[in-house]
A and B are shown apart, each in its own frame.
Chain A
């Protein structure tokens, strides 16, 4: 995400980490999730799904902050994100 200045509390605010799940077969390749992901986590994949569209692919998994924007902008119900479970997370104290 582009910032005009570095937030003053950046050192002690912990952001949530998310995992993006993509349901390839539902995707129609509109590209909204790729374009409007605030952290630019997603990219276009090279492979086709059964209907011949290019679904998105997770490019920078660790960047995802679980904002759910891909999930709510997707017209196809084909992508969603979940918070990384605490045991897997490198920062166990997850705050929103």
Chain B
């Protein structure tokens, strides 16, 4: 039995059929968690047995926004913060599509925050995957709406004086029908969760915690492997925990799991019911 570990070009990774191989290796830094979250998303799409001609991915701007450029399906890289409005239009123009929004915390919750809460309120049939790396990674590590209190960033060298968003609570309060949070280390649960969210009718939201070694990690003395060890030691899986009692903190732990899974009529259902009544 001879095992070659360094063979070459004929080798094909199981996801190569879903990747634009000419763009790989991607731009994400060594140790960045977006690649793992993206890979979990691709595995979930692959195992969902959906017709891939009817699956599309939409991304906004930022590191995670590159996702749409690497997937070998119909995808669109939109302007900053406008991934959800674009996805909404895509879904309404062609309700047969399965639309996945893959973007970052800055794009979805800072500049695109308003679009997020309104899409969740309307219960648009979208799957939103938010890679949360706790800062604005691509622009140089500035403080974001999700940066933990007292964390150091380029714009808060003395520590962040603000309180971050609790993203699952925001999604739940706005009316999302499926809310979950995982880290990139819990990638099996994450893949399963994304698969469930894709099948789920209604607005599904999954927050994925990922390390940002170059910007957030360097300023807070967190090496990528140490962040993953923290995820391993400090995370507590609590399904259906109340979204208002979730922790994202090194002392109290990181609460993970599926928090909300409810059924509600989607925007299209309501629209057909009220506006296009059959006479």
Chain A positions within 8 Å of B, measured between CB atoms, are: 19-26, 28-32, 35-36, 47, 51, 53, 55-58, 61, 71-78, 80, 88
Residue of A19, A53, A58, A72 touching B43 (CB-CB under 8 A): A72
Given A30-B30, A76-B35, A77-B13, also A58-B225 (CB < 8 A): no
The answer on a CB contact under 8 Å between A29 and B30 is: yes
Residue of B3, B19, B29, B185 touching A61 (CB-CB under 8 A): B3
Give 29 A-B contacts (CB < 8 Å), ordered by A residue.
A20-B3, A20-B5, A21-B5, A22-B5, A23-B13, A25-B25, A26-B24, A26-B25, A28-B29, A28-B30, A30-B31, A31-B225, A35-B225, A36-B185, A36-B228, A53-B30, A56-B5, A71-B14, A72-B39, A72-B187, A72-B191, A73-B36, A73-B185, A75-B32, A75-B35, A76-B25, A76-B35, A77-B15, A78-B13
The answer on a CB contact under 8 Å between B7 and A75 is: no
Q: How many interface residues does chain B have, given as a range?
A: 35 or more
User: Which residues of chain B come closer than 8 Å to A47, judged between CB atoms?
Assistant: 6
The answer on a CB contact under 8 Å between B3 and A74 is: no
Interface centre among A23, A25, A58, by most B CB within 10 Å?
A: A23
CB under 8 Å from chain A, chain B span 10-65: 11, 13-16, 19, 24-26, 28-36, 38-40, 43
Query: Closest chain A residue to B21 by CB distance?
Result: A77
Give the Cβ gap from A57 to chain B, nearest Cβ, in Å.
6
